[in-house]
């Protein structure tokens, strides 16, 4: 049975890492809206021209345009998926529900990664990457002298991770995405996961949560 899962959580909660692991374990397609939008930009054309100015200032693409882009991706991935970054708003969730319903399908469950805001801020402040080889991680992984553990060059903080950018995205999350989370909670389809634990512990919790969602689905 094709499993349709959505992964929700604030910025820097680890959705990318957990989403990829989950998709691999369950043999599902993995969608990162960030990666998909970068692909759209690379491919060029009218849609790329439309989203480029928004992305250039770190903003969010409009619901209608995002849904158009997603529709194309969903049509190419009909054997189940994990969505990371979509639905980001209630309007996007409505679109997803209708798109699946037209095919006699539905979302099987939503996972919500939960991390206290203070810890997210700390993660943002400690994020670094290597301009030379592309390595990325946390400051405590660097070698002495702020050196990249992979190539030894000097690492730098990530530009797009400025605190201001995070604060803006966190407010957007509270205003637009938390209502999506509440919607799945009200439907009894939400599995909250404490994502402040180390990555492997969180993975284990995600695995258990998905197994629970699967067995709930069989009972329903
Ligand atoms: Zn490096």
pLDDT tens, residue by residue, 26-53:
999 999 998 899 999 999 999 999 999 9
The answer to the question of whether 104 is labelled as a binding residue is: no
The answer to the question of whether 19 is labelled as a binding residue is: no
- pLDDT for position 1: 67
Distance of CA 123 to the CA centre of its chain: 16
In 57-126, the DSSP E strands lie at 81-84, 109-114
Confidence check: pLDDT of 218 > 80: no
Q: How far is CA 103 from CA 75, 79, 100, in A?
A: 11, 12, 5
Nearest to 127 by CA among 144, 113, 142, 116: 142
Confidence check: pLDDT of 161 > 60: no
- pLDDT for position 165: 85
| pLDDT, tens digit, 9 for 90 and up, residues 127-143 | 888 889 888 888 888 99
Distance, CA 182 to ligand 1 centroid (Å)? 41
Distance, CA 20 to ligand 1 centroid (Å)? 23
Distance, CA 162 to ligand 1 centroid (Å)? 21
Confidence check: pLDDT of 155 > 60: yes
CATH number of 4-116+162-219: 3.40.50.300
Q: How far is CA 115 from CA 2, 118, 130, 170, 198, in A?
A: 29, 8, 26, 12, 12
- pLDDT for position 15: 93
| pLDDT, tens digit, 9 for 90 and up, residues 165-199 | 889 999 999 999 999 999 999 999 999 999 999 88
- Exposure class string for 18-46: b at 16+ Cβ within 10 A, else e: bbebbbeebebbbbbbeebbeebbeeeee
- pLDDT for position 160: 61
- pLDDT for position 111: 97
- Asked if 202 and 13 count as a contact pair (C-beta separation under 8 A), the reply is no
Q: Exposed/middle/buried for 112, CB within 10 Å: 0-12, 13-18, 19+?
A: buried
pLDDT classification of 159: cutoffs 50, 70, 90 = low
Confidence check: pLDDT of 209 > 90: yes
Q: What is the mean pLDDT of the chain?
A: 92
- Asked if 16 and 7 count as a contact pair (C-beta separation under 8 A), the reply is no
Q: What DSSP element (H or E) covers 200?
A: helix 199-219
């Amino acid at each position: 049975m094709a499993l349709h899962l959505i992964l929700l959580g604030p910025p820097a909660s680890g959705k990318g890492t957990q989403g990829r692991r989950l998709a691999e374990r369950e043999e599902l397609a993995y969608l990162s809206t960030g990666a998909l939008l970068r692909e759209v930009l690379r491919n060029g054309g009218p849609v790329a021209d439309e989203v480029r100015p928004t992305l250039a200032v770190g903003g969010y693409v409009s619901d209608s345009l995002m849904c158009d882009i997603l529709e194309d991706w969903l049509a190419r991935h009909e054997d189940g998926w994990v969505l990371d970054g979509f639905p980001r708003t209630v309007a996007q969730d409505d679109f997803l529900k209708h798109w699946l319903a037209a095919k006699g399908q539905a979302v099987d469950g939503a996972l919500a990664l939960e991390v206290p805001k203070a810890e997210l801020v700390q993660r943002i402040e400690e994020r670094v990457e290597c301009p030379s080889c592309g390595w990325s991680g946390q400051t405590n992984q660097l070698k002495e002298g702020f050196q990249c553990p992979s190539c030894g060059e000097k690492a730098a903080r990530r530009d797009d991770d400025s605190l201001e950018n995070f604060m803006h995205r966190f407010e957007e999350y509270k205003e637009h995405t938390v209502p999506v989370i509440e919607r799945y909670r009200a439907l009894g389809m939400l599995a909250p996961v404490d994502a402040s634990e180390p990555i492997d512990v969180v993975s284990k919790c995600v695995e258990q949560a998905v197994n629970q969602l699967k067995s709930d689905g069989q009972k329903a």
